[in-house]
Amino acid sequence: MASPSPAGMLFENVFIGLGSNLGGREHHLRLAREKLRSHPEIELRQQSSLYRTAPVGVLDQPEFLNQVIEIATRLTPQALLHTLLQIERELGRVRDKKWGPRTIDLDILAFDQRRINTTELVVPHPEIRRRRFVLAPWAEIAPDFRPPESGQTVAELFASCNDKSAVHV
Please identify every residue annotated as catalytic: 93, 102, 105, 107
DSSP of the chain: --EE-TTSPEEEEEEEEEEE-SSSHHHHHHHHHHHHHHSTTEEEEEEPPPEEE--SSS-SSPPEEEEEEEEEE-S-HHHHHHHHHHHHHHTT----STT---S-EEEEEEETT--EE-SS-EES-TTGGG-HHHHHHHHHH-TT---TTT-S-HHHHHHT------EE-
Residues in the chain: 169
Q: Are 20 and 29 in contact (CB under 8 A)?
A: yes
